[in-house]
Copies of this chain bind each other. A is one copy, B any other.
Amino acid sequence: MILNFYTFMRGFGEFGAMLLYMVLGCMSGKATSHDAGSLLISSLQYGLTGMTVMHIFGFISGAHANPCVSIACWIFGYIPMDMMMLYVSCQLTGALTGYFLLLQMLPQEVIDNSKPAVCLVEPLASLSNLQIVGIECFLTSVLIMGWCALWDVRSGRFLDSVTLRMGFLITACSFAGGTLTGASMNPAKTLVPTIFHGNPETVLLQLGGQILASIVVPHIWQLAYTPRYRLLESVPLNQPCL
């Protein structure tokens, strides 16, 4: 990693992407209801926010906007470790700034109506600890596999509508797990509201599942779903996972 304008642009890109993700994805304040209409809105909003972020920042920094994605990108060898560290720190700073901005913009009434807190979803009480880890790990795996497919050379010709596909993939995951664990699939989005309020115990379970997925999935992808010619090919190390 060389500290030049491009490195700054990428880091600032991840900062902006994560800031947008927090503010736009949580602004309606409907994330915590359990009826059909609210699940529809929060799932569509989460997915379409992901699409928006990828559309705007896709060719600037890769628009990971998710520490799990940056970790997977590093395991694949597409970015070096120091770049991954930079990405993750910019994402966490962006999430913190975004959450702070969001609380300034929302009226008190909306903040008070969000239980347990704005952008924070409690897992269903009847879920066991193992089930919480399992569901978050499964859903994050789906997300990481979507990124694996995006990064794969075999989909290189089909990138035009990929932001829409990733956005609707997030929506599908959110439909599936939204009423169970909240389906955040994003350590930054899970961690930041917890720092302000929150229940550390279930958050650790969710984080565990998410990070587990980001480590296991790239290895499965490389072992089972990548033809051998990838192993002979020398992958350029210093390019964004775009």
Q: Which residue of B lies closest to A155 (CB)?
A: B59
Q: Which residue of B lies closest to A137 (CB)?
A: B105
Q: Which of A27-35, A184-192, A193-201 contacts B (4 or more CB under 8 A)?
A: A27-35
Choose one: B35, B39, B172; the contact of A52 (CB below 8 Å). Answer: B172
Copies of this chain: 4
Q: Is the interface of A mostly helix, strand, loop or mixed?
A: helix
Q: Is A36 an interface residue (CB 8 A)?
A: yes
Interface size counted on chain A using CB atoms at 8 A? 82
Given A55-B146, A107-B126; 14 other pairs, CB 8 A cutoff: A9-B225, A13-B225, A23-B176, A24-B176, A27-B135, A36-B38, A40-B40, A44-B171, A45-B176, A55-B165, A58-B149, A59-B149, A161-B161, A164-B168
**Interchain residue pairs with CB less than 8 A apart (18):** A5-B227, A9-B225, A12-B224, A24-B172, A27-B135, A28-B178, A30-B36, A40-B40, A40-B44, A44-B175, A49-B176, A51-B168, A51-B169, A55-B166, A56-B149, A107-B128, A107-B131, A159-B160
